[in-house]
Amino acid sequence: MKLVDAYLDYVLTEGRRPATVYAFTKKLKMQEAAFYQEFSSFDALEEKVLKTMTEEVIQSLTKSEEWTGFTAREKVLSFFFALIEKLKEKRSFLQWLQAQTTDTDLKPAYLKGLKHAFEQMADSILAKGIDDQEVKKRGKLSDKYTDALWIQFLFIYRFWLKDTSSEFEKTDEAIEKSVNLYFDLVGQSPLDSMIEFGKFLLHNRPF
């Protein structure tokens, strides 16, 4: 995609956005309207880049041979690994984008498209996990499972942006450990058994 490549090149060389869409297209010797045919703004372009990458990852993952045999835990692990691996292609761009946002901003605009695709994927994996009883349904709390996974991804994503270990090994470790923790929490846990037993005692007071 010519526009996207040109935009990334501009941003990464200049370290800032073009002043206006007009200035940007002029440099490319294009009509301004050609830009608006594809994107409504620079924001939209940035968002689209990440969204496309995410969709590509999801497509290649779900097509892969081992996917259907995987448990929900393994699916999420694969998803995280593959997504981060894919994002590596545009690491400098992402680091630049992150530098434009504040650390407290949990919903940076450029991640909106990625987030949407991510949540759809997470929803479907978790729903299957609930069917297979790998993930425990816990009333209203279950509705927050996807949100929790997103927060976790955001953590991993930021961790990776700052990771300086060789081959980003630390990020691999972070994914492995945090996703395992996540599934230990959403799966049947001692807490569930405690609550069950508590309920039982409440209804069957022995004394």
Q: Where along the sequence are the contacts to other proteins (CB under 8 A)? A: 65-66, 70, 73-74, 77-78, 81-82, 85, 165, 167, 169-170, 172-173, 175-176, 180
Closer Cβ to other proteins, 10 or 81, answer by number: 81
Q: Which is nearer to other proteins, 9 or 85 (CB)?
A: 85
| Distinct helix (H) and strand (E) counts, the chain | 10, 0
Of 45 and 149, which CB lies nearer to other proteins in the complex structure? 149
CB closer to other proteins out of 9 and 66: 66
All residues at 6 or more sequence positions from 52 whose CB lies less than 8 Å from its CB, including other chains: none
Question: Nearest approach, Cβ of 2 to other proteins (angstroms)?
Answer: 27
Instruction: Work out how close the CB of 101 gets to other proteins at its nearest, in angstroms, rounded to a whole number.
Output: 28
Phi-psi region of 168 (alpha: psi -120 to 50; beta: other; left: phi over 0): left
Structure tokens at 138: 């816990």
Q: Can you tell me the distance from the alpha carbon of 100 to that of 11, in angstroms, rounded to the nearest whole number?
A: 12
Amino acid, single-letter form, for residue 205? R
Q: Please, what is the minimum distance in Å from the beta carbon of residue 57 to other proteins?
A: 13
